[in-house]
């Protein structure tokens, strides 16, 4: 169980962490943050990012898009609702660890089946608490997401120099194809709608459309949302070919979210996506699926300094003028100056004007950078799944 700290003892605990640390975070520039370790007694190296969501830490930690990353939570109360059996976004978490301000406490939720500390141990994930996450977040915001090493050592045996070397040697996410690490091993059908809290069961919706989902690291709630929209979903690995997909005779193809550099994944997925679009197959992409669709048609992507990760990002639909509050998790973005003539921008971020959505001008294909399925986050953009089914209906007609 995580360390329990009563009111008035927090800064004393910070001093104890400084003098007798059981965990450390080392950045590539040599910066050292020491604190109290929880979760698995292990160390991992990856990119240090931050997420501003106030809820859904279990969904965030199990989002495959966080492969290669260690997550800093800006909200202080992480672990307060424990962990449960419904809020998974993948079977095995792909994140490398977590960084929090306050020590993890006992869960206070009727849904909890485990405390967070035990859940992290089960999945071999290290955590560190008791550090100044605001200072770390400002550092990421101002200087970009650094490479870093996180070590949880209950015995206090922490080799700072070795961790510094590991952080400096890690190559970074650029040019890294991580979809191959998180995609499914074999094609399979998906049979599960959204969880209905009042009925303690999953929503059951009659299937009207057959959709093939290309799994680049797909969140379960995306598949649930497709099921809710009346889609019979068949999931295929990231390296599936257009011919294999077309042989299944789907009504549409979905391009999932996922981790890593989209340009690296597009080396093999891009030509297949381009072929599907060329054959007038309705296509809907989310997150890296959005980036892969753009790359497949000739656009370029680049790495962002800090990325977008949180559940309060405003996005504008340029066709309707509607403002959506969205859930986001991405560190790469489509370059608007590289877009081919057949792609037009449909949505933009009101934070930095970056591209948040694209549509094909003559083919039944569109994509968004953000997460309309949320989990966690607002439901403002759930209509996009209906837009996909409408597109399939028109194409079928």
Is 367 one of the catalytic residues? no
Is 204 one of the catalytic residues? no
Residues whose CB is less than 8 angstroms from the CB of residue 15 and which lie 6 or more positions away in sequence, other chains included: none
d(CA 373, CA 381): 7
* Candidate list 47, 227, 356, 373, residue with the active-site label: 373
The partner residues of 43 in beta bridges, in order of sequence, read 151
* Candidate list 151, 152, 218, 287, residue with the active-site label: 287
d(CA 125, CA 45): 12
What does each C-alpha distance from 325 to 160, 270, 307, 381 come to in angstroms?
A: 41, 30, 17, 8
d(CA 148, CA 48): 6
The dihedral built from the CA positions of residue 112, 117, 118 and 124, taken in this order, carries a sign that is: positive
d(CA 88, CA 63): 8
- Percent helix, strand and coil across the chain, each to the nearest 5: 25, 30, 45
Residues whose CB is less than 8 angstroms from the CB of residue 109 and which lie 6 or more positions away in sequence, other chains included: 80, 81, 82, 84
Is 287 one of the catalytic residues? yes
d(CA 250, CA 282): 9
Residue 383, token pair as written in the block: 């209509």
* Candidate list 290, 313, 330, 371, residue with the active-site label: 371
Residue 166, token pair as written in the block: 């590991």
Of 353, 308, 302, residue with least CA distance to 326: 308
By CB atoms closer than 10 A (0-12, 13-18, 19+), residue 362 is exposed
Of 211, 227, 201, residue with least CA distance to 373: 227
Q: Torsion angle, CA of 298/302/308/309, rounded to 10 degrees? A: 90
Cβ density class 169-182: b for 16+ within 10 Å, e for less: ebeebeebbbbbbb
Cβ density class 270-284: b for 16+ within 10 Å, e for less: bebbbbbbeeebbbb
Catalytic residue numbers, as ranges: 287, 371, 373
């Amino acid at each position: 169980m995580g360390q329990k700290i009563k009111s008035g003892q927090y800064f004393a605990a910070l001093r104890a962490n400084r003098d007798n640390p059981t965990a450390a975070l080392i950045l590539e520039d040599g910066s050292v943050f020491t604190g109290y370790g929880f979760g698995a007694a292990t160390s991992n190296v990856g990119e240090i990012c931050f997420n501003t969501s106030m809820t859904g830490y279990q969904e965030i930690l199990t989002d495959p898009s966080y492969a290669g990353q260690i997550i800093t939570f800006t909200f202080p109360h992480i672990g307060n609702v424990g962990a449960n059996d419904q809020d998974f976004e993948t079977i095995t978490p792909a994140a490398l660890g977590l960084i929090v301000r306050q020590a993890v406490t006992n869960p206070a939720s009727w849904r909890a089946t485990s405390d967070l500390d035990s859940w992290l141990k089960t999945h071999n994930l290290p955590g560190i608490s008791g550090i100044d996450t605001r200072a770390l977040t400002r550092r990421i915001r101002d200087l970009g997401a650094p490479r870093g090493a996180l070590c949880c050592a209950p015995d206090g045996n922490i080799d700072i120099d070795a961790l510094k070397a590991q952080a400096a040697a890690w190559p970074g996410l650029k040019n890294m194809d991580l979809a191959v690490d998180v995609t499914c091993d074999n094609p399979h059908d998906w049979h599960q709608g959204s969880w209905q809290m009042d009925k303690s069961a999953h929503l059951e919706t009659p299937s009207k459309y057959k959709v093939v989902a290309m799994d680049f690291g797909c969140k379960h709630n995306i598949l649930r949302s497709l099921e809710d929209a009346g889609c019979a979903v068949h999931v295929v690995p990231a390296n599936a070919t257009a011919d294999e997909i077309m042989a299944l005779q789907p009504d549409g193809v979905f391009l999932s979210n996922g981790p890593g550099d989209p340009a690296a994944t597009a080396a093999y997925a891009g030509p297949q996506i381009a072929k599907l679009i060329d054959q007038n197959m309705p296509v809907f992409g989310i997150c890296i699926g959005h980036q892969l669709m753009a790359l497949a048609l000739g656009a370029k992507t680049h790495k962002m300094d800090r990325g977008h990760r949180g559940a309060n990002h405003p996005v504008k639909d340029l066709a309707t003028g509607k403002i959506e509050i969205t859930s986001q998790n991405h560190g790469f973005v489509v370059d608007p100056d590289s877009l081919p003539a057949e792609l037009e921008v449909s949505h933009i971020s009101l934070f930095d004007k970056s591209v948040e959505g694209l549509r094909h001008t003559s083919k039944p294909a569109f994509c968004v950078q953000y997460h309309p399925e949320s989990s966690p986050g607002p439901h403002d953009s759930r209509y996009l799944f209906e837009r996909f089914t409408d597109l399939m209906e028109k194409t079928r007609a």
